Structure 1
């Protein structure tokens, strides 16, 4: 477990909710928006932050619309710690 990255996620309610929304299966930003109740712009910005830190990754990078995001192995470890 990378506790620095865990701290990065847990320091923001946006990051926590997005990571937890992706815990069960990969989703599009729109699906995450509907699940967590945040504006799409917040979800997109948060996904960018999490991607930069290696916590989530885009599974459909070549698509300009309908991109699907999922947790990396590190992201899965962090999600498990968040629900404890």
Structure 2
């Protein structure tokens, strides 16, 4: 991944609190949308949208069969891990 591509991804993630919170939670380990929702206090609709956006950007991946409708477990990709590490290292997380 080039530096420009990585910074584009960093910018994409930090432009949404929902993407930040979702990626931050997945950086800790795999989780279901409902678990992320419970732990972050964000609505399941926001989490689902953030997961889809992060997945479209190849920052997270679905760890179970695409056919599963319940119990879908997501994890962070290597690219997602690099982006999250950059966000943390550069202190780009807004304080709540």
Q: TM-score normalised by the shorter chain: which range applies? A: over 0.9
TM-score, reference length from structure 2? 0.82
Say which SS state the counterpart of residue 57 (structure 1) adopts: strand
1:54 match: 58
TM-score, reference length from structure 1? 0.93
Q: Determine the C-alpha separation between the residues in 1 that align with 2:42 and 2:87.
A: 19
Structure 1 residue runs without a partner (length 5+): none
Deviation per residue, 1:7-42 (Å, 9 max, x gap):
100111111110000011100001100111100011
Moved over 6 A (4+): none
Whose Rg is larger?
A: 2
CA shift, 1:62, in A, is: 3.0
Matched, 1:6 2:10: yes
Q: 1:36 aligns with which of 40, 43, 51?
A: 40
Q: 1:23 aligns with which of 22, 27, 41?
A: 27
RMSD: 1.0
Q: Determine the C-alpha separation between the residues in 1 that align with 2:80 and 2:23.
A: 7
